Structures are given as structure tokens and as C-alpha cells.
């Protein structure tokens, strides 16, 4: 999505450890008018997929998921992060590794909010190694619901998460796919993602 690529080039910052920071419009401050346009694009891509629910993960996915869900007229469910091992009867749980922070955590969703008949679209801000996305997919599968696909704002295509999930036969639509990021700046993938 041209508009997003231009915005990343303009307002994205490369921080320590070659981390892309988009706090100014996606993550900490949310440019709602802009994110609404991304939401409309996710709607265009998945409008014919019979989506009944959008699943995301706290905290930075919530705004994007809500501003997208309004076009589908479906609810958002956000998975909660917890440091403790939650093996409660009333939640689905899966483990997620955070490579950025060198830690891991559980994500949990109440069983009452993911149902066997649900067709779930996953929305998140970033896709890199895919650990969070795989965790969300497991929650949906545990509920006996269907994964319609994933809508990602920024994919780091030089990491293997996108390939991993596409190879499982799951549709992944990323609005910007970064091919490389270094001292020379940010370069985007121009060809479409396989799968």
C-alpha cells in the first residue's frame, strides 16, 4: 500500500538494534484518520471472506483492530498478555516468545468469546518472526473456529514469520513489506507475497 510506505519513509524511525519505530502514527500515538484508511483496505481485501470476528493482541493491535472491525460490523476480541502460566478452565492459552524483549508470555482469551462457528480475521501491527501470530492462530484452532487470514500493517519480510504462516496455507495480507532496513534507509518488497 503506497500510502503506508510513504508514511513509513516519512515518519518511521530506525531505533537501536535496527528496530523500526512507528510510535508517531501506529503504536503510541495513533493517527486515527490514517488507520481508518488501513482498516478500509483490510476490509477491501477480506470483505468476501465471511469474517465474524476480529482477533488481536494487546496493546498496540487494539486500535487498528477496532478501526478495521467497524467496516466489517463485527466485534473485536483482544488476547491478553500474562506473565503467569494460565491453565484455567475458562480461557484458551498459548505461549508467545518475544524476541525483541528476550522473554516469553502467555496470551489468553475467554472461551466465551471464541466460538466453533467463528470465522476469525487476525489483525496486528507487526509481523516479524511470527510468534504472536502463531499464538493467536493456536487460540483460534483450540476454539474450533476458522482462521480466515491475517491483516498486518508492517511485515518484516526479511524475517521468516510471514513465510512460515503462508506455508501453513493461511492467507496473510501485509500492507507494507520491508525487504531491508539499514543505515541506507528502508526498502520495500515490490513483488506480491507468495501464498
The residues of the shown chain that bind a copy of itself, judged by CB under 8 A, are: 23-25, 28-33, 35-36, 58-59, 62-63, 65-67, 69-70, 73-78, 80, 109-110, 112-113
Asked whether 58 and 89 are in contact (CB, 8 A), the reply is: no
Nearer to a copy of itself, 115 or 168 (CB): 115
Nearer to a copy of itself, 65 or 157 (CB): 65
For cell 528476550, the residue is: 102
Cell readout for 73 is 460490523
Minimum distance from residue 30 beta carbon to a copy of itself (Å):
4
Nearer to a copy of itself, 22 or 157 (CB): 22
Minimum distance from residue 63 beta carbon to a copy of itself (Å):
4
Total residue length of the chain: 195
Minimum distance from residue 113 beta carbon to a copy of itself (Å):
4
> In 3D, which of 87, 183, 193 has the Cα closest to residue 149?
193
Strands 53-57 and 119-127: parallel
Asked whether 106 and 82 are in contact (CB, 8 A), the reply is: yes
Minimum distance from residue 6 beta carbon to a copy of itself (Å):
18
Nearer to a copy of itself, 71 or 158 (CB): 71
149: left (phi > 0), else alpha (psi -120 to 50), else beta? left
Amino acid at each position: 500500500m503506497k500510502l503506508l510506505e510513504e508514511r513509513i519513509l516519512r515518519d518511521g524511525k530506525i531505533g537501536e538494534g535496527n528496530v523500526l519505530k512507528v510510535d508517531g502514527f501506529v503504536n503510541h500515538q495513533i493517527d486515527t484518520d490514517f488507520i481508518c484508511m488501513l482498516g478500509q483496505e483490510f476490509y477491501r481485501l477480506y470483505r468476501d471472506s465471511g469474517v465474524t470476528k476480529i482477533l488481536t493482541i494487546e496493546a498496540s493491535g487494539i486500535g487498528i483492530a477496532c478501526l478495521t472491525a467497524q467496516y466489517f460490523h463485527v466485534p473485536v476480541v483482544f488476547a491478553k498478555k500474562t506473565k503467569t502460566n494460565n491453565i484455567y478452565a475458562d480461557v484458551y492459552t498459548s505461549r508467545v516468545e518475544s524476541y525483541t524483549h528476550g522473554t516469553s508470555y502467555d496470551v489468553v482469551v475467554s472461551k466465551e468469546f471464541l466460538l466453533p462457528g467463528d470465522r476469525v480475521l487476525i489483525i496486528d501491527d507487526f509481523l516479524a518472526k511470527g510468534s504472536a501470530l502463531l499464538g493467536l492462530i493456536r487460540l483460534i484452532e483450540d476454539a474450533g473456529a476458522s482462521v480466515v487470514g491475517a491483516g498486518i500493517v508492517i511485515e518484516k519480510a526479511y524475517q521468516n514469520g510471514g513465510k512460515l504462516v503462508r506455508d501453513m496455507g493461511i492467507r496473510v495480507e501485509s500492507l507494507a513489506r520491508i525487504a531491508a532496513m539499514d543505515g541506507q534507509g528502508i526498502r520495500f518488497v515490490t513483488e506480491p507475497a507468495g501464498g
